[in-house]
């Protein structure tokens, strides 16, 4: 009996000692990995982290290691492996209730999806219970909402362009107005609205919109051309010629004279003695 107790004691001590050695070795691998990460040597860091993971029995630490591996893969541009490790880290941390690691993994997944262009998916992570209200999520949610809004505006403008291609300028104008309610200074919507107003015969309104557009972006050639045409349409040749002279480097008089719409509004002699 005494021998059995002695053997059991020896085995327990050996187990404790081996466990202690394993923990110490994990610490060594983690420290090496950290140093490699600081030097942007991500492959070397992943190698050390994998060794640490294989020796670790602690679920919290394993989740932490997976998160680090996932971020290292992200830094290498390996999105699929990054997503795999970060998702595993997030799931593991969520199960054991470790909010700190879960938040870190959730934020990292959000950043990954954001950089992959998956804005809706990124938003889910940043609005999730672990990431919500963190500084990272607050910053990214502002960017995401801005981008999603801009995408929506572009969709509306595209609808307007579709109507314009079918010569339905009333419908096109409605779409540009919708876009401008969301983004009042969207230069595409303003330019296209000005042209739609010109085509609808509302020349004074077209001039107002195109003048404002020109102030926002003086380099848009179509804004200048449509503004000149609008001036001509109300017989304000003085302002039309002044604008053409001021923007002579931007517009090509020979090309404009091939434009039937321009010639109809301003006449073929518009550039004579300019």
pLDDT tens-digit profile of 117-129?
A: 999 999 999 999 9
Q: Write the DSSP string, 85-120.
A: HHHHHHHHHHHHT-HHHHHHHHHHHHHHHHHTT-HH
Report pLDDT for 205. Answer: 98
CATH of domain 147-266: 1.25.40.10
201, 200, 196, 199: which is closest to 213 by C-alpha? 196
Name the strand (E) or helix (H) holding 58: none
Q: Please report the pLDDT score of residue 104 as a whole number.
A: 96
Q: What is the mean pLDDT of residues 94-123?
A: 96
Token pair 């602690």 is at which residue? 58
- The pLDDT score that the predictor gives to residue 221 is 93
User: pLDDT at residue 133 above 90?
Assistant: no
Judge whether residue 17 has pLDDT over 80: no
State both tokens at 4.
């059995």
The span from the CA of 71 to the CA of 64, in Å, is: 11
pLDDT grade for 6, boundaries at 50, 70 and 90: very low
% of the chain surpassing 70 pLDDT? 91
Residue 269 pLDDT: 84
- Return the pLDDT at 69: 97
Residue 192 near residue 223 (C-beta atoms within 8 A): no
Fold equal for 16-131 and 147-266 = yes
142: nearest Cα among 126, 164, 159: 126
pLDDT at 19: 47
Residue 258 confidence (pLDDT): 83
Any idea where the domains of the chain sit in the sequence?
16-131, 147-266
Contact between 155 and 148 under an 8 Å Cβ cutoff? The reply is: no
CA distance 173 to 92: 53
Reported as a single tens digit per residue, the pLDDT across 155-192 is: 999 999 999 999 999 999 999 999 999 999 999 999 99
Q: For residues 246 and 223, what is the distance between their CA atoms, to the nearest angstrom?
A: 14
Closest by CA to 164, choosing from 191, 203, 202, is: 191
Does residue 217 carry a pLDDT above 60? yes
Report whether pLDDT(273) > 80: no
In the 8-state DSSP scheme, what is residue 131?
A: T
What band does 82 get if pLDDT is binned at 50, 70 and 90?
A: very high
**Total Cβ atoms within 10 A of residue 178:** 16
Pair 67, 86: CB distance under 8 Å = yes
pLDDT band at 111 (very low <50, low <70, confident <90, very high): very high
Does the pLDDT of residue 213 top 70, yes or no?
Answer: yes
Mean predicted confidence (pLDDT) in 130-150: 94
Joined together, the tokens standing for residue 263 give 């010639």
* pLDDT over 60 (residue 21): no
| Options 1.25.40.10, 1.10.490.10, 1.20.1050.10, 1.10.274.100; CATH of 16-131 | 1.25.40.10
Q: What is the pLDDT of residue 159?
A: 98
pLDDT computed for residue 268 by the predictor = 84
């Amino acid at each position: 009996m005494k021998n059995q107790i002695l053997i059991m004691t020896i085995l327990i001590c050996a187990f404790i000692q081996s466990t202690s050695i394993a923990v110490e070795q994990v610490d060594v691998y983690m420290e090496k990995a950290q140093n490699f990460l600081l030097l942007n040597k991500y492959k070397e860091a992943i190698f050390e982290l994998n060794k640490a993971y294989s020796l670790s029995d602690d679920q919290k630490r394993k989740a932490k290691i997976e998160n680090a591996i996932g971020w290292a893969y992200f830094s290498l541009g390996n999105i699929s492996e990054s997503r795999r490790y970060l998702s595993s880290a997030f799931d593991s941390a969520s199960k054991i209730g470790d909010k700190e690691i879960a938040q870190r993994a959730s934020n990292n997944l959000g950043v990954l999806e954001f950089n992959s262009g998956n804005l809706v998916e990124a938003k889910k992570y940043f609005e999730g219970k672990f990431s919500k209200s963190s500084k990272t999520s607050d910053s990214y949610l502002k960017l995401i909402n801005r981008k999603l809004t801009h995408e929506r505006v572009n969709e509306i403008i595209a609808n307007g362009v579709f109507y314009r291609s079918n010569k339905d300028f009333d419908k096109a104008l409605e779409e540009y107005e919708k876009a401008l309610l969301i983004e009042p200074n969207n230069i595409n919507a303003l330019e296209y609205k000005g042209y739609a107003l010109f085509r609808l015969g509302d020349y004074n309104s077209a001039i107002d919109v195109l003048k404002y557009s020109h102030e926002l972006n003086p380099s848009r050639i179509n804004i200048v051309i449509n503004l000149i045409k609008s001036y001509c349409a109300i017989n304000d040749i003085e302002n039309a010629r002044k604008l053409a002279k001021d923007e002579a480097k931007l517009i090509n008089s020979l090309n404009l004279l091939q434009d039937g719409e321009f010639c109809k509004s301003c006449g073929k002699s518009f550039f004579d003695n300019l």
